[in-house]
């Protein structure tokens, strides 16, 4: 336990001293700016009660998408160099001969990265809610579970990238992470195209992608927590029913299982490889 604590503390300290918090600050400004721009847009039609009702809700939904994006990118950035870069630079040689197990090194890195990424993601989410409250005068605290589900995005992509980092070079790790995120993101457009143009193959590919990287399950789970703010028209639409219906318990379980399996794979691969 001490080795895991020491390595995670070192990872956190390094992250802070590398001034990653500057990027975090910029992301916070982006969140504030996003809400501000939405408020400006709404103020053009200040007397339309529908606009005044819908814009804060849409701002919150899309704002959480921004938070998801920043959280995932932050976790991927930190995880991509965690193992691969330290091997390339020879940092791990002085650590691995010490009385520590290799799994402790990977777990220490994983915890250190996720603590930083999750703290930032939570900060951005809270900032979003506070900005919507202050700038638009609306509170949606009843959707407090949604930001917690959003936290799973950095966990998912950070774990996946750390797994790549245990066997690939830094460059390849970054490439594989970007490809994974792209594949995950492409599921929804593929499904939409498949339905609109009636392409069975595309739908089958989308079905497989959904299990390869279960981002879509998470996206629908976040939406489920936001039901009370989703405009009624959106909820009633066929598109929402087709693409955004709440995930089943099995699908949610799959996400957690997926993260655990990827982490175990990372531990196994790093244990077996030559460093």
Partner 1 sequence: METDGVAVDWAIETFHLTKIYTSFLRRRRLVAVDSLNLKVPAGCVFGFLGPNGAGKTTTIMMLLGSVYPTSGGFRIFGRAISDLGVRRRIGFLPEKFQFHDLLTAEELLWFHGRLAGMHRYELRRRVPEVLEQVGLLERAQSRVREFSKGMQQRLGIAQAILHDPDLIILDEPTSALDPLGRRDVRDLILRLKARGKTVFLNSHLLSEVEMVCDEVAILRDGRVQRQGGLDVLLQVHPVVDVELRSRSERVMEVVRAMAMVIAEDGARFTAEVQSEEDIPALARCIVQAGGEVMRFVPRRESLEDLFVRVVEESA
- Residue 274, interface with partner 1 (CB under 8 A)? yes
Kindly tell me which residue out of 20, 51, 62, 96 binds partner 1, with binding defined by CB under 8 A.
96
| Nearest-angstrom CA–CA distance, 25 and 38 | 20
| Own/partner long-range contacts of 168-177 (Cβ < 8 Å, ≥24 apart) | 168/84, 169/84, 169/88, 170/80, 170/81, 170/84, 170/85, 170/88, 172/84, 173/80, 173/81, 173/84, 174/76, 174/80, 177/76, 177/79, 177/80
Which residue number, 45 or 272, has a Cβ lying nearer to partner 1? 272
- In the window 66-95, what residues touch partner 1 (CB under 8 A)? 89-91, 93-95
- In the window 147-206, what residues touch partner 1 (CB under 8 A)? none
Structure token digits, residue 161: 């990238």
Tell the smallest beta-carbon distance from residue 111 to partner 1 (Å).
Answer: 16
Tell the smallest beta-carbon distance from residue 75 to partner 1 (Å).
Answer: 20
- Residue 22, interface with partner 1 (CB under 8 A)? no
Using an 8 Å Cβ cutoff, are 170 and 85 in contact?
yes
Which residue number, 6 or 122, has a Cβ lying nearer to partner 1? 6
SS (H, E, C) 80-101: HHHCHHHHHCCCCHHHHCCCCC
Tell the smallest beta-carbon distance from residue 19 to partner 1 (Å).
Answer: 10
Provide the 10 A C-beta neighbour count for residue 85.
Answer: 15
- In the window 100-139, what residues touch partner 1 (CB under 8 A)? 100-101
Kindly tell me which residue out of 44, 49, 97, 236 binds partner 1, with binding defined by CB under 8 A.
97
Tell the smallest beta-carbon distance from residue 16 to partner 1 (Å).
Answer: 9
Nearest-CA neighbor of 51 among 41, 61, 65? 41
- Residue 1, interface with partner 1 (CB under 8 A)? no
**Residues of the shown chain interacting with partner 1 in the complex, contacts defined by CB under 8 A:** 2-3, 6-7, 10, 13-14, 17-18, 89-91, 93-101, 272, 274-275
């Amino acid at each position: 336990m001490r080795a895991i604590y020491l390595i995670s503390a070192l990872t956190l300290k390094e992250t802070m001293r590398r001034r990653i918090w500057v990027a975090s600050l910029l992301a916070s400004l982006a969140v504030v700016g996003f809400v501000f721009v939405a408020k400006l847009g709404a103020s053009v039609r200040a007397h339309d009660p529908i606009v005044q009702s819908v814009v804060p809700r849409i701002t919150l939904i899309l704002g959480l998408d921004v938070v998801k994006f920043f959280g995932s990118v932050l976790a991927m950035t930190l995880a991509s160099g965690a193992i691969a870069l330290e091997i390339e630079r020879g940092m791990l040689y002085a650590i691995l001969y010490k009385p520590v197990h290799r799994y402790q090194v990977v777990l220490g890195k994983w915890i250190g990265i996720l603590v930083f990424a999750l703290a930032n993601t939570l900060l951005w989410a809270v900032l979003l809610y506070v900005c919507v409250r202050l700038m638009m005068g609306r509170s949606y605290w009843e959707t407090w579970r949604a930001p917690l589900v959003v936290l799973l995005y950095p966990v998912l992509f950070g774990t996946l990238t750390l797994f790549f980092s245990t066997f690939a070079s830094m460059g390849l790790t970054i490439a594989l992470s970007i490809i994974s995120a792209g594949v995950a993101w492409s599921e929804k457009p593929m499904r939409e195209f498949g339905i609109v143009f009636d392409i069975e193959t595309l739908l089958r590919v989308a079905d497989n992608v959904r299990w390869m990287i279960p981002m879509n399950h998470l996206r629908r789970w976040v939406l489920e927590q936001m039901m009370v703010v989703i405009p009624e028209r959106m909820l009633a639409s066929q598109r929402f029913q087709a693409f955004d219906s709440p995930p089943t318990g099995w699908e949610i379980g799959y996400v957690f299982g997926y993260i655990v399996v990827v982490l175990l794979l990372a531990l196994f691969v790093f244990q077996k490889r030559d460093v």
